[in-house]
């Protein structure tokens, strides 16, 4: 069969073009912007919602196999040093204790407060925790480097002096304006509500079952196999549901390894979920950054030069690199950017929803915004001018209309005419994210004689709605209601799937799911044609029915019943990879905030988030993703910050009272605006969505504070104390 | 046998295998283990099991009427008021207690009732929407029942 070229209209409703694509033989016909869908893009409740609202959904921490033992981990209380002596003997003799393993032998280094020393398991967690107190332990402390922000500041060029009046931040004189600003971002913790951990059971034949709270079932399988020195095929990972990860559960951690070793040692199932304190200390974070940016613009409003030096404070390992939107603002020109990571004796950096981006976009969007005011231009107009020719201009205009920029943008930041106690402003920022998918992903589709369709992949649904995406793509392809589809995810006995990182899951699962359903549908037709003595070309699957040339119709149920005892099945692969519309998604957010001049509180009133993500498979869950991204962005902008005692090197806020994540009382109105697009890379045109909506929120809020008050915030989170410091310095409000 | 140091949450999750209530912070700070004891919400991680002897305890598993979902559960499904789902059962119980005590609760009261329930995926706006919708349904159904009796 020769491949046939197809013309596709791809992109988004705001900007699109025609491409030529040549589908692989046997692949489903590609969708494009002109495709009329029955289900794709509608508002469909997630397929596992019933299990989750009824309490029936079993998370990995809910699994209770018989004879279950509970494990607990002993962690270092000091940030740096060496293990001199560690003996489990006395702990193992405690009542209820059945096993114990060392995480560090004597002589090993302590890298941070919370570093794992050993683990024991017992018949209850209380018994395990009690036993840990009996471990014979001697640690030799050494000098720590837990707090290096001060040292990092010394490495950066000197910034412009901070302004002390509104007069200094108005339109500048001269043909060009150059600003040198330093921005600082904090260490943010992931804090998924389900802690990190697994439940493990080693069978008599040395095969292992693991129920893991993971973002990557296949990565977990490899990690457990390595820890137990057995082949991967001996390990089966189950992750039917899991309670959030945000990047911190992409690789199997020490806790998983220790749990597997305890299960092997005791021959009984063992559960090890770390406590909230360990969540704060030991399972990763978004690393802090210091960023010095020097940007020059012409008075006509064109950005001319951009250079910067950035520093990441990574903890004992990981990357603190920051990513900025400079390439969009300076197309075709080279920005001079340098980066350095500083290691210290704290918990390590890990991937956190759009690694490097929220920090980089906060700094870059802040200085771009400030330049607009200094060249005497409206911040929207300044961006439209510098982003001309990109999708951003259309998205910004759309968002500006939605938030009513003309009416709500404050034209005189910081001006207090009467006795106002608060000022209101609107700020904006852009976002981007690459479109990635795993090539190896395969999806199994089985049509049963009962009329039900079974879809299987071994990857996990981390709450983003992957299960529902698979169900909708399958149902749409076969022309049946989504209620007819049973989706099974999170079992590594099923075909291989992606880790849920890089916003890859939906983009990786959709093309093979559509390919599998298409192939299975064709096979169903072939079987019916054979029975009816017709040619397969005479049969069509449409609207949930099989239509036979000449007018005869078969309902879906009758067609499937004709399969007798043999379901049809097909394995879908990741085909396609055409050039498509773009290699990145784009979006922007506009935030309307109020700043209390007496208390320094920043209260977001309304945030409009415009986002493209290729094909929107389910509008309901896609919007939820955007809303969730914005809310994590609000936490990053206003509340969340790990604080460490610089003398002791110990983290001071290891619980959810002292480390504040956004709650119900801090919610603004959030308006997600999803663009129904199609990226044109393959049969389904889906791009990722998890990460981009959390990137611009902090920048948009900071720029709204600037629009309201004239105060440029250089440091996250924008706590009341920091905002008040700025208001007082600029002599704004009644306190000044 | 219940150990004196076992919390209500330990008892439910580990002995009775009612795992709808979740353990997320073990400190009464996140609300993932919220349930009702004698009609009042508690963080089950902060209550000793033995202190609840003889009390009527309602967990999320008891919200639905057989296979028929409670209006709150139904509206959570329809409004997509959940993502990973780990905080969801706690949210439902706080909302349930709020609407039981104050069937006319509005947006402000609902937000206050949920102030002790943290969600890291960021489902709050959807949760508010679901609660308001359920409150409406429950008022309407109660009105219909009353009307029917007359």
Please write the tens of the pLDDT for every residue from A281-304. 999 999 999 999 999 999 999 999
Q: What are phi and psi of A397, to 5 degrees?
A: -65, -40
Residue A3 has pLDDT above 70, yes or no: no
Alpha carbons B35 and B57: distance in angstroms, whole number: 7
| Three-state DSSP string of A633-697 | HHHHHHHCCCCEECCCCEECCCCCCCCCCCCHHHCCEEEEEEECCECCCCCCCECCCCCHHHCCH
Residue of B nearest to A658 (CA): B29
> What six digits make up the tokens of A224?
């457990």
Q: Judging by DSSP bridges, how do beta strands A602-612 and A669-675 pair with one another?
A: parallel
DSSP A136-199: EEEEEE-------HHHHHHTSPPPPPPP-SGGGGSPPPSSEEEEEEEEEE--EE---SSPSEEE
What pLDDT band is residue A146 in, cutting at 50, 70 and 90?
Answer: confident
Q: Which of B19, B61, B83 sits opposite A624 (nearest CB)?
A: B83
Distance between B149 CA and the closest CA of chain A, angstroms = 31
Other beta carbons within 10 angstroms of residue A5's beta carbon come to 8
Residue A307 has pLDDT above 50, yes or no: yes
> What six digits make up the tokens of A177?
């304006």
Determine the average pLDDT of the residues in A418-445. Answer: 95
Task: Classify A88 as helix, strand or coil.
Answer: coil
Burial of A141 (0-12, 13-18, 19+ CB in 10 A): middle
CB contact under 8 A, B24 and A624: no
Determine the average pLDDT of the residues in A394-422. Answer: 93
Helix axes A357-374, A697-709, angle to 10 degrees: 30
Determine the average pLDDT of the residues in A229-241. Answer: 98
Residue B150 has pLDDT above 60, yes or no: no
Q: Cis before residue A8, ω within 30 degrees of 0?
A: no
Distance between A490 CA and the closest CA of chain B, angstroms = 14
Asked if the C-beta of A669 comes within 8 angstroms of chain B's C-beta atoms, the answer is yes
H/E element, A9: strand A6-12
Residues in chain B: 150
Is ipTM over 0.95?
A: yes
Strand-pairing partners, residue A208, are A202, A235
Asked if the C-beta of A603 comes within 8 angstroms of chain B's C-beta atoms, the answer is no
Question: pLDDT tens digit string along A41-60?
Answer: 999 999 999 999 999 999 99
Asked if the C-beta of A128 comes within 8 angstroms of chain B's C-beta atoms, the answer is no
CB contact under 8 A, B121 and A663: no
Strand-pairing partners, residue A182, are A292
Question: pLDDT tens digit string along A453-487?
Answer: 999 999 999 999 999 999 999 999 999 999 999 99
Q: Which residue carries 């940030």 as its tokens?
A: A79
Instruction: Report percent pLDDT > 70 for chain A.
Output: 99
Mean per-residue pLDDT over chain A, rounded: 96
Contact present, A366 and A702 (Cβ < 8 Å): yes
Residue A315 has pLDDT above 60, yes or no: yes
Burial of A178 (0-12, 13-18, 19+ CB in 10 A): middle
Asked if the C-beta of A243 comes within 8 angstroms of chain B's C-beta atoms, the answer is yes
Strand-pairing partners, residue A122, are A70, A97
Distance between A53 CA and the closest CA of chain B, angstroms = 6
DSSP letter at A730? T
Q: Which of A52, A246, A621 sits opposite B88 (nearest CB)?
A: A52
Please give the model's pTM, rounded to 2 decimal places.
Answer: 0.97
Distance between A547 CA and the closest CA of chain B, angstroms = 34
pLDDT at B1: 85
pLDDT at A2: 47
Q: What are phi and psi of A252, to 5 degrees?
A: -65, 125
Chain B residues touching A662 at Cβ < 8 A: 122, 124
What pLDDT band is residue B148 in, cutting at 50, 70 and 90?
Answer: low
Residue A503 has pLDDT above 70, yes or no: yes
pLDDT at A332: 85
Residue of B nearest to A633 (CA): B122
Determine the average pLDDT of the residues in A553-576. Answer: 96
CA torsion, points B7, B8, B9, B15, in degrees to nearest 10?
100
pLDDT at A687: 95
Distance between A55 CA and the closest CA of chain B, angstroms = 4
Helices in A1-65 by DSSP H: which ranges?
A: 49-53
Alpha carbons B88 and B83: distance in angstroms, whole number: 8
Q: Which of B5, B120, B126 sits opposite A192 (nearest CB)?
A: B120
Alpha carbons A57 and A161: distance in angstroms, whole number: 56
Alpha carbons A337 and A335: distance in angstroms, whole number: 6
Chain B residues touching A482 at Cβ < 8 A: none
Determine the average pLDDT of the residues in A414-435. Answer: 93
Contact present, A443 and A574 (Cβ < 8 Å): no
Q: What angle do CA A416, A709, A404 make, to 5 degrees?
A: 100
Alpha carbons A691 and A353: distance in angstroms, whole number: 5
pLDDT at A420: 84
Contact present, A273 and A197 (Cβ < 8 Å): yes
Distance between B107 CA and the closest CA of chain A, angstroms = 11
pLDDT at A736: 63
pLDDT at B5: 92
Distance between A531 CA and the closest CA of chain B, angstroms = 41
Answer with the residue of higher pLDDT: A94 or B143: A94
Question: pLDDT tens digit string along B61-108?
Answer: 999 998 899 999 999 999 999 999 999 999 999 999 999 999 999 999
Chain A residues touching B114 at Cβ < 8 A: 663-664
Mutate to test the interface with B, among A50, A54, A70, A490 (most CBs of B within 10 A): A54
Cβ within 8 Å of residue A259, ≥6 positions away: A71, A119, A197, A198, A199, A200, A270, A271, A272
Determine the average pLDDT of the residues in A154-166. Answer: 97
Chain centre distance of CA A286:
12
Residue B149 has pLDDT above 60, yes or no: no
Chain B residues touching A58 at Cβ < 8 A: 19
pLDDT at A417: 82
Q: Which of B83, B120, B123 sits opposite A191 (nearest CB)?
A: B120
Question: pLDDT tens digit string along A658-712?
Answer: 999 999 999 999 999 999 999 999 999 999 999 999 999 999 999 999 999 999 9
> What six digits make up the tokens of A378?
């409206």
Alpha carbons A242 and A211: distance in angstroms, whole number: 10
Instruction: Report percent pLDDT > 90 for chain A.
Output: 96
CB contact under 8 A, B121 and A124: no
Residue A1 has pLDDT above 70, yes or no: no
pLDDT at A734: 74
CB contact under 8 A, B27 and A665: no
Task: Classify A45 as helix, strand or coil.
Answer: coil
Residue A325 has pLDDT above 70, yes or no: yes
Determine the average pLDDT of the residues in A405-410. Answer: 93
């Amino acid at each position: 069969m020769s491949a046939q070229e197809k013309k596709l209209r791809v992109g988004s409703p705001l900007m699109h073009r025609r491409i030529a694509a040549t589908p692989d033989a046997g692949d489903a016909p590609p969708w494009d912007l002109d495709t009329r869908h029955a289900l794709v893009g509608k508002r469909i409740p997630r397929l596992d919602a019933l299990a989750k609202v009824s309490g029936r959904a079993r998370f990995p921490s809910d699994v209770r196999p018989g004879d279950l033992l509970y494990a607990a981990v002993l962690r270092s209380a000091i940030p740096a040093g060496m293990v001199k002596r560690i003996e489990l003997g006395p702990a193992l003799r405690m009542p209820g204790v059945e096993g114990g393993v060392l995480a560090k032998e004597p002589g090993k280094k302590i890298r941070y407060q919370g570093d794992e020393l050993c683990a024991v398991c017992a018949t209850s967690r209380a018994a395990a925790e009690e036993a840990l107190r009996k471990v014979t332990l001697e640690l030799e402390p050494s000098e720590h480097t837990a707090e290096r922000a001060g040292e990092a500041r010394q490495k950066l060029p000197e910034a412009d002096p901070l302004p002390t009046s509104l007069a200094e931040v108005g339109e500048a004189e001269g043909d060009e304006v150059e600003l040198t600003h330093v921005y600082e971002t904090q260490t943010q913790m992931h804090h998924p509500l389900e802690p990190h951990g697994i439940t493990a059971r080693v069978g008599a034949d040395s095969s292992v079952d693991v129920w893991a709270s993971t973002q990557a079932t296949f990565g977990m399988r490899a990690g457990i196999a390595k820890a137990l020195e057995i082949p991967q095929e001996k390990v089966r990972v189950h992750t039917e549901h899991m309670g959030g990860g945000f990047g911190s559960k992409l690789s199997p951690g020490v806790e998983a390894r220790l749990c597997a070793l305890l299960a092997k040692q005791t021959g009984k199932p063992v559960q090890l979920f770390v406590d909230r304190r360990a969540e704060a200390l030991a399972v990763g974070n978004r690393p802090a950054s210091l960023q010095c940016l020097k940007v020059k613009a012409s008075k006509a409003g064109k950005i001319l030069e951009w250079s910067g030096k950035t520093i990441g404070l990574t903890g004992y390992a990981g990357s603190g690199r920051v990513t900025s939107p400079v390439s969009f603002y300076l197309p075709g020109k080279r920005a001079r950017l340098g980066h350095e990571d500083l290691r210290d004796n704290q918990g390590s950096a890990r991937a956190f929803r759009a690694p490097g981006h929220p920090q980089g976009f906060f700094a870059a969007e802040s200085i771009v915004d400030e330049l607009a005011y200094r060249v005497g231009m409206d911040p929207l107009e300044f961006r439209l001018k510098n982003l001309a020719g990109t999708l951003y201009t259309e998205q910004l205009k759309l968002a500006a209309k939605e938030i009513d920029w003309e009416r709500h943008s404050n034209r005189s930041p910081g001006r207090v005419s009467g006795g106002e106690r608060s000022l209101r402003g609107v700020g904006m920022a852009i976002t981007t994210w690459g479109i990635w998918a795993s090539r190896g992903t395969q999806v199994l589709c089985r049509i049963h004689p009962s009329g039900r369709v079974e879809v299987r992949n071994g990857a996990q649904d981390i709450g983003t709605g992957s299960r529902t995406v698979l169900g909708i793509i399958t149902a749409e392809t076969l022309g049946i209601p989504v209620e007819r589809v049973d989706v099974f995810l999170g079992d590594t006995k099923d075909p291989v799937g992606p880790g849920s990182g890089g916003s890859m899951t939906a983009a990786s699962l959709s093309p093979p799911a559509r390919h599998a359903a298409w192939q299975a549908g064709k096979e169903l037709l072939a079987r019916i044609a054979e029975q009816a003595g017709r040619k397969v070309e005479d049969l069509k699957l449409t609207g949930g029915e099989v239509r036979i040339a000449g007018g005869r119709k078969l309902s879906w149920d009758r067609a499937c019943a004709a399969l007798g005892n043999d379901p049809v099945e097909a394995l879908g692969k990741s085909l396609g990879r055409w050039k498509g519309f773009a290699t990145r998604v784009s979006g922007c957010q506009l935030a309307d905030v109020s700043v209390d001049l007496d208390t320094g509180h920043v209260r977001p009133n309304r945030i409009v988030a415009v986002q493209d993500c290729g094909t929107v498979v389910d509008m309901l869950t896609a919007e939820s993703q955007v809303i969730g991204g914005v809310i994590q962005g609000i936490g990053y902008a206003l509340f969340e910050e790990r604080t460490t005692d610089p003398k002791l090197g110990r983290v001071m806020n290891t619980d959810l009272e002292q480390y504040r994540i956004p709650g119900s009382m801090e919610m603004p109105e959030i308006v997600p605006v999803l663009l129904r697009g199609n990226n044109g890379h393959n049969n389904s045109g889906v791009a990722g969505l998890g990460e981009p909506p959390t990137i611009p929120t902090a920048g948009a809020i900071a720029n709204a504070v600037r629009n309201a008050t004239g105060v440029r915030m250089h440091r996250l989170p924008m706590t009341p104390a920091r905002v008040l410091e700025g208001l007082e310095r600029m002599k704004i409000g009644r306190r000044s | 046998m219940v150990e004196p140091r076992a919390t209500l949450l330990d008892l439910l999750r580990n002995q009775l295998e009612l795992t709808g209530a979740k353990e997320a912070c073990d400190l009464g700070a996140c609300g993932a283990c919220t349930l009702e004891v004698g009609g009042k919400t508690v963080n089950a991680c902060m209550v000793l099991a033995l202190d609840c002897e003889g009390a009527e305890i309602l967990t999320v598993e008891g919200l639905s009427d057989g296979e028929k979902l409670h209006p709150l559960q139904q509206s959570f499904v329809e409004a997509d008021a959940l993502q990973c789902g780990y905080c969801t059962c706690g949210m439902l119980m706080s909302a349930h207690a709020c609407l039981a005590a104050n069937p006319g609760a509005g947006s402000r009261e609902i937000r206050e009732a949920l102030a002790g329930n943290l969600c890291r995926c960021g489902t709050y706006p959807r949760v508010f929407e679901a609660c308001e919708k359920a409150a409406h349904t429950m008022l309407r159904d109660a009105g219909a029942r009353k009307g029917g009796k007359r």
